[in-house]
Structure 1
């Protein structure tokens, strides 16, 4: 099974559509057997679903994600685990153990303590 995580500095990156890197894990029998960090080469939002599908990814762990990207992933047959934060490697281990804490209703507006950011950074916007 191939699992992708939106990736930045070892953690789960919090905006799928702006992901510049994914960490791709190959898991067999509940154990990670290999992993690699791949660059998205500037692909964004909807194009990322095709990028992941082309790499054979079956499952995605991410932070925030918009409706359009959700639909693209669904059409690509990629199982989605949004609303995850923290260490990327630990998130994958938790998924494999069945203990991953995620929020299926997560959208891409984030309000972190002391930080107020939404999806309009970088000039992009989300479609909810």
Structure 2
């Protein structure tokens, strides 16, 4: 199993489309066997699902994520665990133990702006290809 986590300074990065790094974990028999941090700079919203697929990722742990990215990940066959915050390593350990707390309905309705926080539901904005609709 290969797990990717949106990654920044050891934490789950909170905006999938702005993610510059992923931490990739190889896991077998319920344990991490190896991990590495890879750069995704220049990939952008539309290409990130393909980037993850090219790395053989089965499952993605992330914070907020827009509807378009959700669709691209589903089409790539990547299981999504959104709405996660905290340490990346701890999140993967929890996933492997079956105790990861995540919100399947988490959406980031638009790009981060002053005061914007990703949340469950939608604020209705439609910017830069990220739909504000659920």
TM-score higher than 0.5: yes
Question: What residue number does 1:90 align with?
Answer: 90
Question: What residue number does 1:37 align with?
Answer: 37
Question: What residue number does 2:116 align with?
Answer: 117
Question: What residue number does 2:103 align with?
Answer: 103
- Give 5+ residue unaligned stretches, structure 1: none
TM-score by length of 2: 0.85
How far 1:41 sits from its partner (Å)? 2.7
Question: RMSD of aligned C-alpha atoms?
Answer: 1.8
Which secondary structure state, in structure 2, belongs to the residue aligned with residue 89 of structure 1?
A: helix
- Give 5+ residue unaligned stretches, structure 2: 119-126
Distance 1:39 1:85 in 2: 20
Checking the alignment, whether the CA contact within 8 Å between 2:5 and 2:62 is kept in structure 1 is yes
The one-character-per-residue Cα deviations of 1:81-122 (angstroms, maximum 9, x if unpaired) are 000000000000000000000000000159xxxx83257xxx
How many aligned positions are there? 121
TM-score by length of 1: 0.89
Distance 1:46 1:32 in 2: 29
Question: What residue number does 2:47 align with?
Answer: 47
